Structures are given as structure tokens and as C-alpha cells.
Structure 1
């Protein structure tokens, strides 16, 4: 089964300094039809104007992923991490028993565009952790986050794997699916046909009870793919 979440139908928030599009219910946006998929709870498509950002605030018991599409995030947290997160880099913050952080656009001229993603952990509590890394795209589908941190990936506290998908114009990919798993794809750039369904920038799609995924890029594609319990 393939269920498409069109970019144009997502929830919207406009705070002046922040323009956000919510794939799932978040903040003041609530739709009981879109409360998440499996352990995937939040995908916010955020655009932050220069010199602004999210002031210090707290989280607990959530795996929080940031992926920068353009611009840079300046990160600070209550465990002493002070980091810059440039475009193409992944950040994973395991909030555990509780952590405070801020995320700002440090540029005076360049907007920041990034995805903020929340995945519910398999266990609660524990020491908060911070991870950050740039990944070379070694193949069309490259793992960046895994439950065991294998092959240098970031380690998440859930039976979930996150991949970055990159396809050239007219490139095809066939992906076998594991029975009983849920897959979610969030399209960042390009146009993609997935099992005959056309996807455009910002669209998402959940996939269940399919044996194969057949993908064809109409133009160069970048997407995140979530393999979920």
C-alpha cells in the first residue's frame, strides 16, 4: 500500500522568522489522520531567516534528527556541545532523560533550510547523546543512521534505519522490501516516480505491504528514506 502526503497539503506555520511545513501534527497544527508513521513522529520542513532561530528549549525521550538542505545551523546544548552544522550534514540528538538546546541561523545574509525529524525511541530515559557527521554518498541508497551505528553511521535508540537517496536524471533503482516493516520516503529535490506514483519536491509517501519499490528519477533526486518497525 502506498499513501502519498502531498507537500501542498501539509500543515503550515508562519512566525515571520520561521516558515514551517508539518508532515504530521505538530504545535498548533493538528490532524488526527496525520499523527506519524510507526515510530516516525515529526518531519518539519523549516526555513529560518538570517540571524534568527530556535531559542533554548528542552526535550526528553525523543531521537531528534536535523538534516541541512542549505545554509548552516549553529547548535548549542546543555551538555556543552557548541557545533556548526553545514549543508549536507546530519545531526542526531538523543534527548534521553532531558536536554536543553538552541538552533540558530548564524548567517547575516543566507537563509537556512533544513528538515527537523523526530523518531520515538524504543526505551526512555538514559544519558542524552549528541552525534554529527557528513556522509559520502557511496551508492544510490546510503545508510546514515542505524540502530547499531554500523559502518560509521550515527546510532539511534530505535529499530529504525535512515538512508539518504540520491539518483541522477533518468536513473532507476529497484528496492526489495522486508515483510512487516514500514518505509517512509521524504522527497527533498527532484521528481520521482515510485511504483507508478509521481512524487514532487516536498511530497512524502508511506509504504506498507509491498514486496518491491521501483523508482525512476525524472530529474536528479535527493530524498530521505526511513525503514521503520
Structure 2
């Protein structure tokens, strides 16, 4: 079990962007934090009004955007244009190559998000784009599957052996299986795992461990490998 405290993450700030990097990214490099399993990036970005990322390219990555607050306008070389809001997940499978831009369309409010990169299992595939509004299908006080490698799950699909759950829990415990590996990314609130407390924006990895997550009140994402 390894904890990645929110205040220990890499930092990058410019006029329109405040970013926190869980793993090594761009000019931030820490050999102790290069990713976890197929998970390569968890960037916690705050984008100022009308700020954003101009057109840039990716390949062989599953790029997942989770909005915490505000909205994000997306355009890509496949012809997709969409505005993503809280309660939605956006997935772009870069495959053989895709270009896109992302901007905060608001003139007044910041946008905060997690941008998540997962290494693609099959390389050089045809790029694809999808959105999934999970908000309308949430079961109260449960782990809710929002991303899967199985299209029959009817959630966001990725080209990798990974499942991602969203949770908004109160006075709830759940168990983690020693036969699997996990990354738990807190959004807000507090939880306890193996006697260790984690809170706002902390992350924690577990491999081959039986563990119980005890939640008083928390929101977060659970990555299962």
C-alpha cells in the first residue's frame, strides 16, 4: 500500500492553468511516480475562464476526462465537438493518432477536472470518441461502474483491462480483493484503509492485499486492474 498525498504531487502553474500531477508528466519528473500498472496520468487541472489547451496530438492512449466542476469544450480531428459537464465521462481512444483541443467555454467560472491517461492494450487501432452520462444511472451509496473494457457493461469503454468506479458514499465500508490491484483517487471527503487516513485529492495504490475501505463521507474514483 502506497499513499500519494495531494500536497506532494507535481505542480505546474501558468496564467490560465493550475495543475497537479500525480505521476511524472511533461517537465515534472519523479522516478518514484511514473504511473501504476497501465495508469500513466492523473492530472488535476484547474482551467481559468476562456483558457485551455490548443490543438495537440496523442496516440496509443485511452484519454479519460472527468469533470469535477465547470464545463469543458472539446473538438477533435475525428469531427467531434462536445461540451462535457459534471456527471459525464469523456473517453478518447487515441489509437493510431488523433488531435484535439480542450477549452473552458465560460467567461466567469473555473473548470476543474481529472484528466486520466491509460496505456492502450492494442496499439495502432482506429481512433474513437465517446461520452457516457453516468449521473442518471448512479445507485445511491454504492460503487458505480463508469468505465470498463467490456462493451456489454454499457458504460464508457476503454481498450485496456481496467474498470473504473465512481463513488459518493456515506457511512459505508467496502472490501478490496487481494487477487487484484487498485488505485483509489479521492475527490473529496475522508476514508480509512488499513489504518491509514486519506482525504481531499489523495491517491493510494494497493496490490495483492486484502483491505477494507471505511468511508464516513467521501467521493472518489476506484481503478481496478
Q: Give the structure-2-normalised TM-score.
A: 0.96
Partner of 2:177: 177
Q: Distance in 2 between matches of 1:131 and 1:75?
A: 12
Deviation (angstroms), 1:176: 3.9
Partner of 2:111: 112
Q: Distance in 2 between matches of 1:95 and 1:147?
A: 15
Which consecutive residues of structure 2, in runs of 5 or more, have no partner in the other structure?
none
Partner of 1:224: 221
Q: Distance in 1 between matches of 2:152 and 2:200?
A: 30
Q: Distance in 2 between matches of 1:56 and 1:132?
A: 20
> Which stretches of structure 1, 4 residues or more, deviate above 6 A after TM superposition?
none
RMSD: 1.1
Pick one of 188, 208, 212 that aligns with 1:214: 212
Deviation (angstroms), 1:174: 2.2
- Equivalent position SS for 2:64: strand
Matches within 5 A, 1:125-164: 125-135=124-134, 136-139=137-140, 140-164=142-166
CA change 1:27–1:176 in 2 (3 A) is closer
- Equivalent position SS for 2:11: strand
Moved more, 64-73 or 130-139: 130-139
Matches within 5 A, 1:93-112: 93-112=92-111
Query: In 1, are the aligned partners of 2:176 and 2:213 still within 8 Å (CA)?
Result: no
**How many residues get paired?**
222
- Equivalent position SS for 1:8: helix
CA distances 1:116-173 after superposition (whole Å, capped 9, x unpaired): 00000111011101010111211510111111123311111011111112102xx122
Q: Distance in 2 between matches of 1:79 and 1:5?
A: 36
Deviation (angstroms), 1:178: 4.7
Q: Distance in 2 between matches of 1:119 and 1:175?
A: 24
Q: Distance in 1 between matches of 2:174 and 2:114?
A: 26
Q: Distance in 1 between matches of 2:218 and 2:33?
A: 25
Deviation (angstroms), 1:82: 0.5
Q: Give the structure-1-normalised TM-score.
A: 0.94
Partner of 1:191: 190
Query: In 2, are the aligned partners of 1:172 and 1:214 still within 8 Å (CA)?
Result: no
Which consecutive residues of structure 1, in runs of 5 or more, have no partner in the other structure?
none
